[in-house]
Amino acid sequence: MTDQSGASVSEAVVDLLGALSYAQLSGFEALAADAQMTPHLRAKMAFARMGVEMFHRCEQVGVRLGELGMSQEQAMTPFVAAVDAFHERSKPSDWLEGIVKAYVGDGIVRDFYTEMAAHLDPENRAFMTRMLTNAGGADAIVDEVRLAMQGDPRLGGRLALWARRIMGEAIHATQSVAVERDSLTALLVGGEPGSDLNEVGRMFARITQAHTVRMELLGLSA
């Protein structure tokens, strides 16, 4: 694979960017659909803030792929089935489940792709890290969940169970994406043949710990 200048482009870079791009596009679409269940304007704004950030990331990845001489649509295509399956398995029943799914899912996606990017070349690693640092409308979502639970303390248990389910489904989805392409499987185990497979477990332990912190911010038990 070569870019527009004729330089070699890692297949893993294109695959990782393509997977991330579709994850953001599908997340934006899910947020737009879930926002229709929202009963008040303040919560609609919370959905919108996060949705805008997801779509902006998708656009940023498209620009980066263009710089590499690659088609964003072609790069995304191999990952459509795995990402769509995640959304099909995790359809929320109300707006609160939708907003928790967005918060939990986006956090796991950002953590996962940041971890995977650690094995890329310095330029693409810096691009991924810079882009994924911004959590967009996360603060607004935390406020909405906490406000809802103040009005009905019984919500805490239900939303905590839902967040744990989303955590499991999101981890399954990221693993499915990683094994979809040989280049991403290599990154998952450390980027080099013979890498320590235990690092995969350590990576997901770090992702789980970050999830626990986000749950505490929501006021939910992990």
Tell me the CATH number at 23: 1.20.1260.10
User: How many structural domains is the chain composed of?
Assistant: 1
Domain of 103, in residue numbers = 11-218
pLDDT digits (tens, 9 = 90+) for 31-61: 888 888 888 888 888 888 888 899 999 999 9
Residue 1 falls within a domain, yes or no?
no
Residue 149 falls within a domain, yes or no?
yes
Residue 199 falls within a domain, yes or no?
yes
Asked if pLDDT for residue 134 goes beyond 80, the answer is: no
Residue 2 falls within a domain, yes or no?
no
Looking at residue 181, the DSSP 8-state letter turns out to be S
Residue 4 falls within a domain, yes or no?
no
If DSSP codes are grouped into helix, strand and coil, which group holds residue 64? helix
- In 141-198, which ranges are E strands? none
Average pLDDT of the segment spanning 130-139: 78
Asked if pLDDT for residue 194 goes beyond 70, the answer is: no
Residue 5 falls within a domain, yes or no?
no
pLDDT value, residue 6: 36
| The pair of three-digit structure tokens given for residue 139, joined into one six-digit string | 């603060």
Residue 3 falls within a domain, yes or no?
no
Residue 6 falls within a domain, yes or no?
no
User: Average pLDDT over the chain, rounded to whole?
Assistant: 86
| The pair of three-digit structure tokens given for residue 73, joined into one six-digit string | 């649509």
**pTM summary value:** 0.87
Pairwise pLDDT comparison (159 vs 9), residue with the higher score = 159
pLDDT value, residue 111: 92
